[in-house]
């Protein structure tokens, strides 16, 4: 089961991607709430003690954030593969575009969507477009995928495999199918 979550192999259709993404988001929210409640304990703290308690979130974040990113990228890669796009190119290009967009906003803050967002309108539209593609773009059918491997002969069907071998032309020749025990095998 963990191979299905952490693996980059295979494909995810739209429903599987949606359910997996919602489960990942719900799991991340539960981990965040449990970590905050465990560290702060629901008590009101002054500023200095809140900063000391906030340092307790660092080990949780050092474990939770890489796991969240790994699962998120694996879901996206498998969904891109189902769409027919090569995730080896799409995911790094998306990541690099997002970094360049954030650097552009740092250099020219007036192009940001809002003061605190750190994303430009173009970056927002690209992220929205790719997110909508992941959710709504139909996946490839099996026939489309099988056509990629046209040079590989298909495996024999059961009807072809079950067909008896042709009988020899002469009645005294040994039967190639029957070897071993039996009336003709000895």
What are 103's two structure tokens? 């650097």
Q: Return the pLDDT at 58.
A: 85
Q: Return the pLDDT at 28.
A: 94
pTM of the shown model: 0.67
Measure Cα distances from 48 to 54, 83, 185 in Å.
10, 51, 91
In 3-state terms, the chain is what percent helix, strand and coil (to 5)? 65, 0, 35
Measure Cα distances from 153 to 140, 145, 146, 156 in Å.
21, 14, 11, 9
Tens of pLDDT, residues 129-154: 999 999 999 988 765 555 554 555 55
Higher pLDDT, 48 or 111: 111
- Choice among 17-21, 73-77, 94-98, 171-175 with the minimum mean pLDDT: 171-175
Domain ranges of the chain: 2-145
Look at the block and give the residue holding tokens 């003690």.
49
What are 139's two structure tokens? 């996946």
Look at the block and give the residue holding tokens 């939770």.
64
Q: Return the pLDDT at 72.
A: 93
């Amino acid at each position: 089961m963990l191979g299905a979550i952490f693996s980059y192999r295979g494909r995810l259709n739209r429903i599987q991607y949606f359910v997996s993404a919602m489960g990942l988001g719900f799991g991340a929210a539960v981990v965040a709430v449990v970590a905050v409640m465990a560290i702060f304990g629901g008590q009101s703290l002054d500023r200095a003690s809140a900063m000391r308690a906030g340092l307790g979130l660092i080990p949780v974040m050092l474990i939770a954030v890489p796991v969240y990113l790994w699962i998120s990228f694996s879901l996206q890669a498998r969904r891109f593969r189902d769409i027919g796009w090569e995730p080896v190119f799409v995911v790094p290009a998306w990541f690099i575009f997002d970094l360049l967009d954030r650097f552009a906003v740092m250099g020219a803050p007036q192009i940001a969507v809002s003061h605190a967002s750190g994303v430009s309108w173009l970056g927002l539209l690209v992220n929205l477009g790719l997110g909508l593609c992941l959710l709504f773009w139909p996946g490839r059918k099996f026939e489309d995928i099988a056509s990629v491997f046209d040079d590989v002969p298909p495996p024999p069907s059961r009807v072809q495999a079950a067909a008896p071998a042709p009988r020899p032309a002469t009645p005294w020749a040994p039967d190639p199918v029957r070897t071993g025990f039996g009336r003709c095998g000895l």
